[in-house]
Structure formats: structure tokens, C-alpha cells
Amino acid sequence: MQSTLESLGQLERRLHVAVPLQQIEGEVDKRLARLAKTVKVPGFRPGHVPMKMVAQQYGPQVRSDVISDAVQASFNDAVKEQNLRVAGYPRIEPASDKAPAEGTLEFSAVFEIYPEVSVGDIAGATIDRPTTRTSGMACCLTVARISGSRARDSSVSSSDWNLK
């Protein structure tokens, strides 16, 4: 896998990645073989479907899944290799600036990264903490208001009292 990083702006980057087609074809063959063991096709016992029929029927879907997985895995590997912190999801585009090299799948991923933030010297900084003064009367009024809002009326009979 080859990758090159291009800076499009302060936070926007474009990553060009090339994945060998041989790796993709090998994975497609493995998945089709695994699928052939469990697929049910009318006229054949499970696991005894000819590989050609499995490839004809399920090949495009399996190939699409493998390419999607390869693109995602190669993007993640390239990001780790370049030590990038990606913000959000990448926009995956086919490589269109030039003809792709023979035997490779090339794509570009456009994404944004988190900015580099450096904290300055905070040793001399002061923090002003606001203080609030309350009177006893204000506290009593607040408690009375809260208890009044949570009060319930209910009827009580003398049999409800538990006097001993």
C-alpha cells in the first residue's frame, strides 16, 4: 500500500492511497469459497454449488464488500502511519487526476483533522471566583416555595393514623 498526503488548507487534507489489486482478488476468492460452503441454490445441496455459479450470482456483491473493506482498512492504516487525528468521516473519491498504475486500486480521501492546540504558560494566571451573599430570610423563602410546590393534598381518615 502506498500513500501520499496533500494539504488543502489549514485543517483539510487529501490522502492518496494505492492498494494492490492482487490483494483484493485474493480476498474475493477467499470470501466466495467461504460463501460456497453455506449458500443454498435450488437444485444443489448446500456446500456443493459449483464455484462458477457462486461467483456469477454473488460475485459483484462480494467484490463490492471487499473493495469497501480494503478502502476503509487502507485509509485507517495510512492515517495511523501519518500520525493524523481525523475529525469526522472522510470523503472517499476515485483517483481521477491521472491514469491508475497497472494492478492497483487508487483512491483519494478528503478529510479534516483536529487543529494542533498548545497551552501557554498559565503559572501567572489568576482566577476570580465570584461570591454570593444570601440572607437567612432568602433561604427560608426559597425552602417554603419549594415545599409548597411539592405538597399534595390527600384525605386522611383516623384509621390511617398509626397511634400506639
- Kindly report the pTM of this predicted structure: 0.66
Say whether domain 2-113 belongs to CATH 3.40.50.920.
no
Chain CA centroid to CA 99, Å:
31
Per-residue model confidence (pLDDT) at position 112: 93
pLDDT tens, position by position, 110-154: 999 998 888 888 888 888 888 888 888 888 899 889 888 877 777
Confidence at 82, pLDDT banded by 50, 70, 90: confident
CA-to-CA dists, residue 102 to 16, 18, 20, 21, 155, angstroms: 16, 11, 9, 9, 88
Domain definitions of the chain by residue range: 2-113
